[in-house]
Chains A and B, each alone.
Chain A
């Protein structure tokens, strides 16, 4: 089971809060941005409980398609999306609830004796480092590579979700062999040919990243032409074509 990572002082306190809460007959609401670990934290409180989406559960209760009395405890995600929250919660008074939400909802605040806010991952550098290392290790194992975190660009705009995505994607891209690239290109070309794309289009797909990287690496057009073994006039024409006339 995946665990809530708690290396920062804030996260350690949060983990301590939920450990105490798990033994108490009170409802808990966990709120914070997407990808901060709300669901993982909820699982720390109720490891055996099933997880239901708030809106789905609301519809199921209205349609009488769920026997709510069978549950003693529930993890309800995205409770902020439930339309009639007070009525929704009035159906669940005999159940211990751990709910997750994007924000703390004032209209139902009183239904939750324990309110836990998880900060964005960028505000918890110790957690960010630990989580990044875990994802990096897993990605290296999957793609059989030895890439270090320093050599890739990570994205934490959506906290853990975008971080994981960016690490896996970058590791995959770094570990591709010529054969993998050929296969990927062939699959891409096959799809695009079905869409009637022209030779010019495919040339553009290859040449734009090539010229972009060469420009970053070799700085001047003279060096680019020499290293790529390409006529300078042809190179200039292509740069003008793809990046505009004043691009040098």
Chain B
């Protein structure tokens, strides 16, 4: 019977972790393993400790969380001994499939759009931008108008900085499924020397441009499928 419950947890769509008192993982499931690609063990342990009940017991917290593309609406913390603490995250489920209106896509060199957005948004701004570009990237189909609006906001976010880095590269081994087809992903990674705050408006703009935007520490990453 124990084996049955373990299997149930192992195949659960919601990730769970059990940490020891030092914050090391003692046990986790497949979904949790996947989640670790985007968030550190330390961060998850801290999340569990910060939200655990004062006395031993189980605590449910309805807090919105977002790691990469995955959103969670609640967590459960199991704290029954000084030796271990468990964290379970509850996924926000969406049955919307990833689709793109191909009518608005135009074949374009992404670097010319980056240059255009940078020059218009930071025209007389003395900011230093360290550009690390993989110039071998091919021309791709993009909703130019929406992508520029999103990109403008990205650059505008850093208008008071003195120096930032922008890396543009193709992600290795990662794909996005759009209109039931698998596409490689291009990532534009902005990094600064300060924490970058989550920005819902930018997230909405990115979605209109068929892109995803992620915020983590001092980085802001815009990813979009390479549609050729």
Contacts and interface: CB of A to CB of B under 8 A. Distances in A.
Interface stretch (B81-89, B145-153, B186-194, B219-227): B145-153
Contacts of A21: 116
* A13, A20, A119 pick with most chain B CB within 10 angstroms: A20
Interface of B: 106, 108, 112, 115-116, 119-121, 123-124, 144-146, 148-149, 152
A83 interface: no
A36 to B, nearest CB: 14
Contact of B145 (A20, A113, A117): A113
A113 B115 contact: no
Main secondary structure of the interface of A (DSSP, over half): mixed
B106 A117 contact: no
A113 B119 contact: no
Nearest to B121: A115
B148 A20 contact: no
A238 B155 CA distance: 67
Contacts of A40: none
A13 B123 contact: yes
B106 A25 contact: yes
Interface of A: 10, 13-14, 16-17, 20-21, 24-27, 110, 113-117, 119
Contact of A25 (B120, B124, B144, B152): B144
A27 B123 CA distance: 18
Contacts of B120: 17, 114-116
Contacts of A119: 124
A13 B119 contact: yes
Given A20-B116, A21-B116, A24-B144, A110 B149 contact: yes
Contacts of B108: 24
Contacts of B115: 20
B119 A17 contact: yes
27 contacts: A10-B123, A10-B124, A13-B119, A13-B123, A16-B119, A17-B119, A20-B112, A20-B115, A20-B116, A24-B106, A24-B108, A24-B116, A25-B106, A25-B145, A27-B145, A110-B149, A113-B144, A113-B145, A113-B146, A113-B148, A113-B149, A114-B116, A114-B148, A115-B121, A115-B152, A117-B123, A119-B124
